[in-house]
């Protein structure tokens, strides 16, 4: 099933842009590369024009401040999220699985295929919700024809890596208990959600649980310690993320002594043991680019299948922020093909 053309760009970049509008001249950080498609250049130009004027983000001083920030961003994001769902003709239903709140997203004219997809939203571990991040799962649902279950995990600082990965496993075990074959289930997530997907697989494995059939990681946060080279080389030109506010979110999610735990930063995991086929996507204007390269090399080094799919000149989670572009449509189509290749129909 082909993803319909969208006229509405998701405002993830705008919602995070307050943290990005610091450190370098706007003409550098928010310059649109000449090598992206005309459609991407137009969409990014409009986004960056707004982003460059956003004030610097202030670090929340309390749990309540984090709550207020998240609630304000959700208020901005939910109408646009709902508009994308409506444009795609998808349906959305609240549910609980294993005692964890989830949102079920089904594409237009849904017919069960035997596959199930589980999604984890991004937001630096501290922001957004399943309802404010409906765009990426709705796009994937439309492209695959499959139902997507978006896990509404407890964001930090009210949640942390132990709580969140426990919630993931509660959903996972509940689906397996219903007789759903693990080989028919794919996990995916963007940004922090990609890191949660990748890290949760290690917890499944350590507990002796079956693993999913495939992973799809969109601009995944695979090392919250900021050890990669691109934190040095690309942070000054990343139009979405910056090192300082990314570190705030990482610290809220995991204490410093826990940040190299593979459940938190998947790049430090043991890939000599079982790990699912994994598709990793990102752009060349991302501070996290080293995360993608290192995760790919770690998986391949362990003898497992991985695909590193990088796009020229586009920013963090471009699939959601500029969906009506050749870059985003290609990326989502490749993800759909990857899932169809590796997931079995039960």
Task: Write down all domains in the chain, each with its CATH number in brackets.
Answer: 12-342 (3.40.50.1820)
The answer to whether 135 and 103 are in contact (CB under 8 A) is no
Name the nearest CA neighbour of 126 among 198, 50, 71: 71
User: What's the distance, CA 300 to chain centroid?
Assistant: 21
The answer to whether 343 and 183 are in contact (CB under 8 A) is yes
> Which tokens is 118 given?
């589980």
The answer to whether 86 and 79 are in contact (CB under 8 A) is no
How far apart CA 235 and CA 20 sit, in angstroms, is 9
How far apart CA 119 and CA 136 sit, in angstroms, is 9
Task: Provide the residue-wise pLDDT of the chain in tens; the chain has 346 residues.
Answer: 433 333 344 444 445 544 444 445 556 899 999 999 999 999 999 999 999 998 888 999 999 999 999 999 999 999 999 999 999 999 999 999 999 999 999 999 999 999 999 999 999 999 999 999 999 999 999 999 999 999 999 999 999 999 999 999 999 999 999 999 999 999 999 999 999 999 999 999 999 999 999 999 999 999 999 999 999 999 999 999 999 999 999 999 999 999 999 999 999 999 999 999 999 999 999 999 999 999 999 999 999 999 999 999 999 999 999 999 999 999 999 999 999 999 998 6
The helix-helix angle for 38-51 and 12-20 (nearest 10°) equals 50
């Amino acid at each position: 099933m082909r993803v319909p053309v969208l006229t509405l760009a998701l405002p993830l970049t705008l919602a995070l842009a307050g943290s990005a509008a610091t450190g370098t001249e706007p003409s550098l950080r928010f310059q649109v590369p000449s090598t992206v498609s005309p459609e991407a250049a137009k969409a990014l130009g409009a986004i960056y024009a707004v982003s460059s004027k956003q004030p610097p983000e202030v670090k929340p001083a309390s749990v309540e401040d984090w709550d207020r920030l998240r609630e304000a961003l959700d208020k901005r994001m939910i109408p646009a999220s709902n508009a994308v769902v409506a444009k795609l003709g998808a349906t959305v239903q609240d549910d609980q699985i294993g005692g964890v709140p989830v949102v079920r997203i089904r594409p237009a004219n849904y017919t069960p295929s035997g596959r199930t997809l589980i999604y984890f939203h991004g937001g630096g571990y501290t922001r957004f919700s399943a309802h404010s991040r409906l765009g990426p799962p709705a796009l994937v649902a439309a492209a695959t024809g499959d139902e997507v279950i978006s896990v509404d995990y407890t964001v930090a600082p009210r949640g942390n890596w132990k709580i969140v990965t426990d919630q993931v496993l509660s959903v996972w075990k509940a689906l397996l208990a219903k007789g759903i074959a693990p080989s028919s289930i794919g996990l995916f997530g963007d940004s922090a959600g990609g890191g949660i997907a990748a890290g949760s697989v290690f917890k499944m494995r350590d507990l002796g649980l079956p693993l999913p059939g495939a992973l799809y990681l969109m601009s995944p946060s695979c090392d919250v310690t900021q050890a990669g080279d691109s934190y040095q080389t690309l942070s000054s030109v990343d139009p979405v993320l910056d090192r300082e506010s990314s570190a705030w979110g990482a610290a809220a999610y995991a204490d410093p002594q826990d940040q190299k735990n593979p459940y938190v930063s998947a790049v430090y995991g043991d890939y000599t043991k079982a790990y699912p086929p994994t598709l990793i996507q990102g752009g060349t204007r991302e501070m996290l680019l080293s995360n993608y390269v290192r995760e790919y090399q770690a998986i391949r080094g362990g003898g497992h299948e991985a695909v590193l799919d990088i796009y020229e000149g586009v920013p963090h989670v471009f699939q959601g922020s500029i969906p009506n572009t050749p870059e985003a449509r290609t990326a989502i189509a490749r993800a759909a093909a990857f899932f169809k290749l590796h997931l079995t129909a039960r």
